Structure 1
């Protein structure tokens, strides 16, 4: 017989606060059964879905993106995930450019960044 957990137990197992689980349920990314007395009851399926939400949040998806990524329509889910991949790839490019610029400022022979043509070019392109 499957074992169900109360919200506090489920939250502790997931390493999050109970109010987070309530919020996820309220916005529709998590469906949880209720016991006869109205308490939330987290079975294995609900816990696995919560773990999926948590993983998606940890890789940077917003809650609306999580909801779309968990949509029953595969094409909708794939579009959201592809958009996040593209966004992350663009962020990686921006961060690498920032590192190049900052490294240049460490090595720059000019006293002020405004005096350096390379620094000025980077600022204009950013």
Structure 2
């Protein structure tokens, strides 16, 4: 299963240890990676690729849809805040690239951004 997903086996064991992946055990205690576990691991991988931390992934894999949606909505809000912050940074950098002032504090627009106004 690790090869199919393109991850190391220790990654699967780690996901299991933090509660992001549930793997059935056989009578001898060996892990059984069946179709359900494979699909769950694919979901973990997708969620990691879009930026969820392992604790967030584990919470998003909650048994109730409402709990999972709460985690996803919180991540959406955090990403939207990050996007807004990065847009402000781009606006500031564009201005500084064209600004006629040599030092940031000499320009009212730059100084306002730097000082958080």
The TM tier, using the shorter chain, reads over 0.9
Deviation, 1:84, is: 0.5
Normalising to structure 2: TM-score of the pair?
Answer: 0.92
1:29 to 14, 20, 32: 20
- For structure 2, the 5+ residue unaligned runs are none
Aligned to 2:83: 92
2:114 to 106, 109, 123: 123
Deviation, 1:109, is: 0.2
Q: Count how many residue pairs are aligned between Structure 1 and Structure 2.
A: 117
Aligned-partner Cα distance in 1 for 2:71–2:28:
38
Aligned to 1:106: 97
Deviates more, 1:86-95 or 1:67-76: 67-76
Aligned-partner Cα distance in 1 for 2:95–2:42:
42
- For structure 1, the 5+ residue unaligned runs are 1-9
Aligned to 1:77: 68
3-state secondary structure, aligned to 2:115 = helix
Matches within 5 A, 1:28-67: 28-67=19-58
Aligned-partner Cα distance in 2 for 1:115–1:48:
57
Alignment deviations for residues 54-91 of structure 1 (CA, whole Å, 9 cap, x no partner): 11111111111111111111211111111110110000
